[in-house]
Amino acid sequence: MTRPGYQYILTTLIIFLLIFQTGCKPGDSGDSLETDSSMEVIDSIPPGREKRVWRGADIQLKKELEYEQYTLDDEYPYKDTVRHFQWEKIKEKIAQIENAVADGGNWGLLSNYKNQNGEAPTIGGFVRNDYKRVSDEFGVERYQSVPLYNGEREEELLRYGRDGWLVKIPDSDTTEMVRVQGVSFEGEYLVPNRYLKPWGDTIRFNKAVVVDVTHQHITLLEKREDAWYILSMNPATTGVHKPPHAQETPTGIFALQEKKEKMYYVRDGTSQIAGYAPYASRFTNGAYVHGVPVQLPRKSIIEYSPSLGTTPRSHMCVRNASSHSKFIFDRATVKESLVVVID
């Protein structure tokens, strides 16, 4: 009486096991389609792997002042006008650099300080500027510049590149003419390798000294994780257009190239040392961010000048309070810092 019941249960169990095994079997047509489909999605769009294109609106600025002398407000009166920090424009410049860093590749620096790598050839269709110097159509002088040639016809000089401009070097080729892609400027050009300083593929810019030639002030920013922190907001005095000697501070994105505790300067039109500027950080040609100039025979540092934050009057350089200049000098490092000049 019990045997048929036992067989029935045993048969049912075997059928159930067969169905279960068939449904979970690797390679089963119904299961493999779902697995293959999900793997294709994972492989084609890896989570968190999409390339991010930074915009100014994506940049987070957080105020955390570490240098608190002579601090300016975000907006402040000046004579009969109001001056302000152009944070939106600053964020656009930082986004430009963030995208260049995210793209990876080999960095390079255009370099020809005091024509140390040879005077650039004369460009066709040049003009002579107010200083009687040869310049290209973009207003970049031949003196201390780098020649940028047509990428297809290397004998054709197209423009001059400023000393201190950043580029990417797509190839590891070290021939006489090196192909570069502009970071501080747009376009792709060929550059004679003697004007190029390769900086490798590990460059990460985490500090930016931003100078505003319109509003005459300066700020130091530092990147920490995903935000840029505002460490100082101070008055500054930039270069003035006053031939034949004083020159305006050029706008653009430059690398901090070298630092000097004392940068000696000469009397206009001579080779005679006239004095020095303390805590000087050079970013292009003879342009430095430095403290208040000290004129000989005085030797001690001058902390502040009432002309700071007023109108341009320097020789291309950016003057600021000497203690603030030291703050930048100590904090901003070569190859990791930018000097961004906006108008």
| Tens digit of each residue's pLDDT (9 = 90 or more) over 32-53 | 323 233 323 323 335 555 678 9
Residue with tokens 């300016």: 72
| Tens digit of each residue's pLDDT (9 = 90 or more) over 186-235 | 999 999 999 999 999 999 999 999 999 999 999 999 999 999 999 999 99
Query: Exposed, middle or buried by CB within 10 Å (0-12, 13-18, 19+), for 163?
Result: buried
| Tens digit of each residue's pLDDT (9 = 90 or more) over 257-289 | 999 999 999 999 999 999 999 999 999 999 999
The helix or strand, by DSSP H or E, that contains position 87, with its residue range, turns out to be: helix 87-103
Residue 2 — very low, low, confident or very high, per pLDDT cuts 50/70/90? very low
Predicted TM-score (pTM) of this structure: 0.84
C-alpha span between 294 and 280 (Å, rounded): 12
Cis previous bond, 244, omega within 30 = yes
Where do the domains of the chain lie? 56-101+204-342, 106-200
Give yes or no for a contact between 96 and 205, defined as CB atoms under 8 angstroms apart.
no
Selection from 223, 303, 172 nearest residue 62 by Cα: 223
CATH architecture assignment, domain 106-200: Roll (2.30)
Q: What are phi and psi of 186, to 5 degrees?
A: -95, 150
Give yes or no for a contact between 174 and 165, defined as CB atoms under 8 angstroms apart.
no
Q: What's the number of CA atoms in the CB half-sphere (13 Å) around residue 297?
A: 0
Q: What are phi and psi of 9, to 5 degrees?
A: -65, -40
Q: What are phi and psi of 245, to 5 degrees?
A: -115, -55
Residue 110 — very low, low, confident or very high, per pLDDT cuts 50/70/90? very high
Structure tokens at 93: 């410049």
Selection from 258, 252, 223, 230 nearest residue 102 by Cα: 223
**Residue 1 confidence (pLDDT) above 70:** no
- The CATH fold of domain 56-101+204-342: L,D-transpeptidase catalytic domain-like (2.40.440)
Residue 51: per-residue pLDDT: 74
